[in-house]
Amino acid sequence: MLGFRYPILVIVAIFLNACTSEPQQKTSPKKPKAKIEVPTFNADSAYYFVEKQVSFGTRVISSKGWATCAIWLENKFKTYTPNVMVQEGSITTYDGKNHTLKNIIASFSPEKNNRIALFAHWDSRHLADNDTQNQNSPILGANDGGSGVGVLLEMARQFSIKQPNIGVDFILFDAEDYGQPENSEFPIMQDSWCLGSQYWSKKAIEQNYFARYGILLDMVGAKNATFRQEQISFYYGPNILQKVWRTANKLGFGNHFVYQKSKQIVDDHYYVNAITGIPTIDIIEFDPTAENNFNKHWHTHRDDMNNIDKSTLNAVGQTLLDVVYNE
């Protein structure tokens, strides 16, 4: 039997070759995915936009600095897109004062159904809750308010040069930071924070506004700031979180976008999620070593331009540009 092993294998091989001798269908090679050219975020420009807001002074609703800054923001957006509006609404704050809030909205490619929303608040805190002195005086809010707006303005400038494939709406919320302090002598007011986003969200429902998802920026300009995956964001938009954090780490910004969860933070994104159903995440500084878990100058008079770092602005801005242009 051993003497016949080789011939048998040859016969079997010939038989198999005969069975498979019919021509095979050729498959077309897959075309490589086209590389998307993403603009380079200009951190100097974003820094200037933050500085310009701070130059108006405090931007507490109904104040002189607030009114002047609102005009500047509206006009600045109009240099990048003609689709700009100021949404006004009557509100009453926890201290019984009546105000007319101004949400500033700028849109790119409003005709497109495939769109996303980018949010930030543009007002500043009317109190310095966490300071040791002058606690009843308003703060400049360079980081808490100004930084998110600065990043979005620079993105809008880039969009005016090269439009992304999708539609994008920029919404700057007013009256986010006029929330009731813990030691307030006034009766407790539910939902006293984030008044601008509450107003916008209710109107968005009435007007059947739609966006695939939203991203909120809050306190995104401080030196060595770290952003963690906040609980409300993780509940409503886990896929968006992963997309943004994956992009940031791919670009080399893993020192800012940390793969750790943080506690839930009631910010503008909470009301957008709860009222509109648009899955929205919050990119917000979270410092587990700080007593308040936020930026060390949060709600103090030290939240000025010395609290703004261009490399942090760049990390956030370049990450979001990459996300938007690759949609």
Q: Where are the alpha helices (DSSP H) in 27-185?
A: 43-55, 64-78, 148-161
Instruction: Reply yes or no on whether the pLDDT at 3 is more than 50.
Output: no
Supply the pLDDT for residue 35.
Answer: 82
**Count of domains observed in the chain:** 1
Closest CA to 94 of 183, 179, 194: 179
- Return d(Cα 236, Cα 251) in angstroms, integer: 25
- Return d(Cα 43, Cα 178) in angstroms, integer: 29
Does the pTM exceed 0.85?
yes
Kind plus residue range of the DSSP H or E element containing 100 = strand 98-108
Count Cβ atoms within 10 A of the Cβ of residue 189 and give its class: 0-12 exposed, 13-18 middle, 19 or more buried: middle
Residue 208 lies in a domain: yes
Closest CA to 53 of 303, 317, 295: 303
Residue 10 lies in a domain: no
Residue 6 lies in a domain: no
- Both tokens of 19, joined, read 């069975």
The model's pLDDT over 227-281, given as tens digits with 9 standing for 90+, comes to 999 999 999 999 999 999 999 999 999 999 999 999 999 999 999 999 999 999 9
Task: Report how many helices (DSSP H) and strands (DSSP E) the chain contains, helices first.
Answer: 9, 8
Residue 26 lies in a domain: no
Spatial contact of 148 and 314, defined as CB atoms under 8 Å apart: no
Residue 34: pLDDT band by 50, 70, 90 thresholds?
Answer: confident
Average pLDDT across the chain, whole number: 92
Spatial contact of 237 and 279, defined as CB atoms under 8 Å apart: yes
The model's pLDDT over 99-118, given as tens digits with 9 standing for 90+, comes to 999 999 999 999 999 999 99
Residue 13: pLDDT band by 50, 70, 90 thresholds?
Answer: very low
Supply the pLDDT for residue 16.
Answer: 40
- Both tokens of 54, joined, read 């701070």
Contacts (Cβ under 8 Å, ≥6 apart) of 54: 140, 141, 142, 146, 304, 305
Closest CA to 301 of 129, 149, 68: 129
CATH of the domain at 250: 3.40.630.10
Q: Partners of 168 in the beta sheet?
A: 108, 116
The model's pLDDT over 123-181, given as tens digits with 9 standing for 90+, comes to 999 999 999 999 999 999 999 999 999 999 999 999 999 999 999 999 999 999 999 99
- The residue count for the chain: 327
Supply the pLDDT for residue 208.
Answer: 97
- Return d(Cα 73, Cα 156) in angstroms, integer: 12
Residue 244 lies in a domain: yes
Range with the poorest average pLDDT among 23-32, 127-136, 186-195, 196-205? 23-32
Residue 99 lies in a domain: yes
- Return d(Cα 221, Cα 305) in angstroms, integer: 10
Residue 43 lies in a domain: no
- Both tokens of 44, joined, read 């100097």
Range with the poorest average pLDDT among 21-30, 88-97, 110-119, 158-167? 21-30
- Domain holding 221, by residue range, is 55-178+191-325
Backbone φ and ψ for 262, nearest 5 degrees, come out as: -120, 170
Look up residue 176 and give its DSSP letter: S
Closest CA to 139 of 300, 296, 297, 285: 300
Residue 278 lies in a domain: yes
Instruction: Reply yes or no on whether the pLDDT at 32 is more than 70.
Output: no
